[in-house]
Amino acid sequence: MGVIHVTDRAGQRHTLEAIEGWRVMEIIRDWGLPIEGLCGGACECATCHVFVAEEWLGRLYPPTEEEEDQLDTVMTQPNSRLSCQILWTPELDGLEVTLAPTGA
């Protein structure tokens, strides 16, 4: 067991209990925070875009080519990731992410 910290678009930080093997997108969605996850985690839509805190960035598996293709469709920062492509494991206890703005 462990947690992730998610800052929503209003700037409020939430600490969410995480479940091993779940995608970070699924954890965020399951707790009812506003993350769309339109394609259901198929890496096809980029609506689960998050910014990962600098200190955590290097501890994640790097994005696949497929994820980079999807990140092309949103406004990114160097710490942009799709949360559906981050599988939560106990090594990610305390992971810190911020929900990216949604398009207009």
Partner 1 sequence: MTDHIETDVVIIGAGPVGLFAVFELGLLDIKCHLIDILPKVGGQCAELYPEKPIYDIPGFPMVTGQGLVDNLMAQIEPFHPTFHLNEMVESLESIGTPEAPLFRVRTSENGTTFTCKAVIIAAGGGSFQPKKPPIENIEAYEGTGVYYAVRKMEMFRNKKVLIVGGGDSALDWTVNLQPIAKRLTLLHRRDAFRAAPHTVEKMRSLVASGDMDLHLGQVTSLKGEEPVLEGAVIRKDDGSEFTVDCDVMLPFFGLTMKLGPIADWGLNLHENLIPVDTEKFETNVSGIFAIGDINTYPGKLKLILSGFHEGALAAQKVHRYVYPEKKLLFQYTTSSTSLQKKLGVAA
Judged by CB under 8 A, the residue of 21, 58, 62, 78 near partner 1 is 78
Residue range at the interface with partner 1 (CB under 8 A); choices 17-25, 45-53, 56-64, 83-91: 45-53
Residue in 18, 28, 35, 45 binding partner 1, rule: CB under 8 A: 45
In order, the DSSP letters of 10-58 are: TS-EEEEEE-TTSBHHHHHHHTT-S---TTSSSSSS-TTEEEEPHHHHT
Strands 95-99 and 2-7: parallel
Q: Which is nearer to partner 1, 29 or 95 (CB)?
A: 29
Dist. CA 42–CA 64, nearest whole Å: 13
Q: In the complex, what is the shortest distance from the CB of residue 102 to partner 1, in angstroms, rounded to a whole number?
A: 7
Site residues, partner 1 (CB under 8 A): 38-40, 42, 44-47, 68-69, 71-76, 78, 101-104
